[in-house]
């Protein structure tokens, strides 16, 4: 499944809301979490996270440079 299909099926607002709720509850989200929440592949999850980072909803937190240790938390445009 492509990220475009995921956005089309769920709607971008619904996807954003689900990720925002997860970050509010747990403080962060990972690529693996995105894969499981939306039943998508690693590259599609990476693209979704990149899009959310570009829009300022999420930002990378911690010192991990790549791999499963990378976490994303609230960004500058994360809803209050």
CATH numbers and ranges of domains, the chain: 3-74 (1.10.10.10)
What are the pLDDT digits (tens) for 23-49?
Answer: 999 999 999 999 999 999 999 999 999
H/E segment holding residue 58? strand 58-61
Min mean pLDDT across 11-15, 38-42, 51-55, 69-73 is at 11-15
The residue among 69, 44, 80 whose CA lies nearest residue 15 is 44
H/E segment holding residue 59? strand 58-61
pTM score > 0.85 for this model? no
What is d(CA 3, CA 52) in angstroms, rounded to the nearest whole number?
A: 12
């Amino acid at each position: 499944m492509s990220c475009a299909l995921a956005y089309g099926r769920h709607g971008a607002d619904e996807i954003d809301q689900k990720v925002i709720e997860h970050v509010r509850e747990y403080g962060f989200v990972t690529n693996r979490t995105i894969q499981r929440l939306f039943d998508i592949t690693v590259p599609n999850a990476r693209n979704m996270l990149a899009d959310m980072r570009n829009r300022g909803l999420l930002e990378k937190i911690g010192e991990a440079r790549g791999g499963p240790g990378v976490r994303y938390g609230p960004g500058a445009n994360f809803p209050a």
